[in-house]
Structure 1
């Protein structure tokens, strides 16, 4: 399905899709997590192996930190990524410290509360996701490539990839500001500084 032509169109489709999922009785997070809450594990990626769009290779996964490491009222968050291949010819500011890390560039994470509602966007430091860190302007220039509409469908997870794509496009201005703020914070610390985890945040607002 083509991407919306503008922000208003993205918001309209996002609202319609949210209403459709509500009518089905399965909220966004419920489509991702195990049906049995007892099987849900902190730190694990949902779905296993991440959800990757077959065309764009953009991807997402959902996970949660232990309660003492979450924001108040937070359940967990979706991490959104572009493929490293979208940045061919551009040297990353920093790369993963561990071998076998996914070849991805982090865009942002979207946090959800315990009621299953989106609350705010965050930009994390490079060590958090072991990404190939790229400067804000390079990520912003490639946001149109962040189409995850089909990501998750191969694992039987419907609508989630499209919803996240629409949210990203509807909040484009906030994402650009978030990444710019992230780079400003990075200038005062370093990509491997374990004391600096969340570098910037913006409310989820339509």
Structure 2
């Protein structure tokens, strides 16, 4: 990527003349690993709904099937939801660099929400080397998998902080969007 002089987020955004649309998922239909079922997508909120200098973020999910018969803390309210469990999102700035990890409340991604300990026990399953392969961007899934592995301790701490914050609110509290945040460190 460095050799080509193109940032990571540039590789998932639509090429000109197509325009980048806020709230849209990139790639369209998400990037799903055919082996693990883990997935990711990139999107951006309108400028007034994001941090200064933030461009957008990659949301990463484990497949619901990884949780067997374990009872979730919360379930999606929408009809025919994706069968996923949100792990974390990695935010990028307008220079295309990763800045911080966030853990969101359940209503944000309309996912099946599980306790931090259950997600932590399954983090090795968040393996996405082929996610995006059909769209020619599998290297993004590989990069995100490496970022997750390099940040394993931070991801665990993030999820535990999320649960601490969740103890003070509810999964459907729209005043509680981001429950935990930690800087991206290598």
Q: Residue 44 of structure 1 aligns with which residue?
A: 24
Q: CA deviation at 1:38?
A: 5.4
Q: 1:69 aligned to 29, 49, 63, which one?
A: 49
Q: CA deviation at 1:36?
A: 1.6
CA contact (8 A) 2:129 2:138 kept: no
Tell me the TM-score normalised to structure 1 length.
0.89
Q: Residue 178 of structure 2 aligns with which residue?
A: 198
The answer to whether residue 127 in structure 2 is matched with residue 130 in structure 1 is no
The answer to whether residue 156 in structure 2 is matched with residue 168 in structure 1 is no
Instruction: Name the CA distance, whole Å, in 2 between partners of 1:116 and 1:64.
Output: 13
Query: Which one is further off, 151-160 or 85-94?
Result: 151-160
Q: CA deviation at 1:100?
A: 1.3
Return closer, same or farther for 1:172/1:37 CA change in 2, 3 Å cut-off. Answer: farther
Instruction: Name the CA distance, whole Å, in 1 between partners of 2:47 and 2:6.
Output: 24
Mapping for residues 15-54 of structure 1, pairs under 5 Å: 21-36=1-16, 39-54=19-34
Instruction: Name the CA distance, whole Å, in 2 between partners of 1:38 and 1:162.
Output: 26
The DSSP-based 3-state class of the residue aligned with 1:94 is coil
The DSSP-based 3-state class of the residue aligned with 2:23 is coil
Unpaired runs of at least 5, structure 1: 1-20
Q: 2:64 aligned to 84, 109, 112, which one?
A: 84
Q: Residue 122 of structure 2 aligns with which residue?
A: 142
What is the number of residues matched between the two proteins? 186
The answer to whether residue 93 in structure 2 is matched with residue 93 in structure 1 is no
* 1:81-103 Cα distance to aligned partner (Å, 9 max, x none): 00000001101110001001100
The DSSP-based 3-state class of the residue aligned with 1:159 is helix
Unpaired runs of at least 5, structure 2: none
Instruction: Name the CA distance, whole Å, in 2 between partners of 1:31 and 1:96.
Output: 30
Tell me the TM-score normalised to structure 2 length.
0.98
The DSSP-based 3-state class of the residue aligned with 1:48 is strand
